[in-house]
Amino acid sequence: MAGGLSGKGSAAALLCLAFAAAGAQRPPADFEALPFAPRSYVCHRAPSPLAIDGKLDEPAWASASWSDPFVDIEGDRRPRPRFRTRMKMVWDDEYLYVAAEMEEPDVWATLTERDSVIFHDNDFEVFIDPDGDTHGYYELEVNALATAWDLMLLKPYRDGGPAINGWDIAGLKVGVDVRGTINRPGDRDEGWTVELAMPWKILREAAPDHRAPKGGERWRVNFSRVQWQMDVVDGRYVKRTKPGSRDPLPEDNWVWSPQGAVNMHMPERWGYVQFSSAPASSGADTFVGDRNETLKWALRRLYYRQSTFRDANGRYATTLEALHASDIRVEGLDFRPSLQVTPTMYEITAQGFDGVIAHIAHDGRVWLTR
């Protein structure tokens, strides 16, 4: 990958990542019935480069809007997070900037080597799919020691991956500000703030036309916070374990745009970030959605059904009737999909809005043509 490979790949880290994702490779049976309502955010221009120190004291950050507080990854089916998390974004010609503020009474982190499996600590995570096709997307995880793990996924795990652990966001800048004392039990901290600068010269690798975005364009993005329940034993933090076991309790996963399942690797559920050419101080732009995103979601529902059909029958359905496609509606559109199938693959297409044709393939990739 031009500009993005460093040759640092670790088979052990990849195995850990694949194992962590293995339990959530299929959506729950009712997944497609969940509302398709990804969150949205308008990312404004920063008038000048930012100092990446985690303090967020520049005017560009002061005028940028905070997101709504994060929610549980499964949405309203789970309790609200114990601690508030929120993010904000700005951009300029060189970088995409992301900041997050996390309430945390006991700031804790242990990992100091880049590309460690950072979610074994409490962390903040960024997921970016520039062209919105659910393939070729980035993941970045950071802990309160400013240790980063960055990787690219050619496909989601459910579609065969793989994750390229040797991919780097070369030139990444990470700043952390701890409001309290890290790794010191016995006092009460306020939390920690992370500030990130990601160069467009790397992020453009999987972007449309391999370039930075223009004003008015949208990327699919989501953010996650992993939070472990902790106890203090012999003066140090340890993960709380299941009763009668040495295994830690499952981590909490708090996200900006809810996934509906404990699986961040469903890019079709991520939110939308719209880039504005104006600074935030000029007045917030209004997010403008794309009606064809609802069409892509309709095709995604058929993809889920094909996956279920193949699991049950050892082959893909050869007719749309077998997938009960007629019960899927797209508001404002006469949804009439067509299906092409071979013994090992398929493609479903449908006419969309404004002369667009939407496609989805057996490997989950979704895209638009005219």
pLDDT digits (tens, 9 = 90+) for 237-287: 999 999 999 999 999 999 999 999 999 999 999 999 999 999 988 776 899
Categorize the per-residue pLDDT at 34 as very low, low, confident or very high, splitting at 50, 70 and 90.
Answer: confident
Categorize the per-residue pLDDT at 30 as very low, low, confident or very high, splitting at 50, 70 and 90.
Answer: low
| pTM check: above 0.75 | yes
Q: In the beta sheet, which residues pair with residue 179?
A: 191
Tell me the DSSP string of 147-176: -EEEEEESS-GGGT--EETTB--TT-EEEE
Average pLDDT over residues 14-34: 49
Q: SS3 of 312, please?
A: helix
Q: Which pLDDT does position 35 carry in this prediction?
A: 77
Distance CA 57, CA 325 (A): 52
**Model confidence pLDDT, tens digit, residues 74-129:** 999 899 999 999 999 999 999 999 999 999 999 999 999 999 999 999 999 999 99
- Asked whether 359 and 367 are in contact (CB, 8 A), the reply is yes
* Domains of the chain by residue range: 11-282, 292-369
CATH 3.40.50.2300 fits 11-282, yes or no: no
Q: In the beta sheet, which residues pair with residue 152?
A: 138, 164
Distance CA 204, CA 200 (A): 6
For residue 149, the 8-state DSSP code is E
Closest-CA residue to 346 (of 326, 365, 324): 365
Q: Which pLDDT does position 22 carry in this prediction?
A: 37
Angular region, 63: left φ>0, alpha ψ -120 to 50, beta rest: alpha
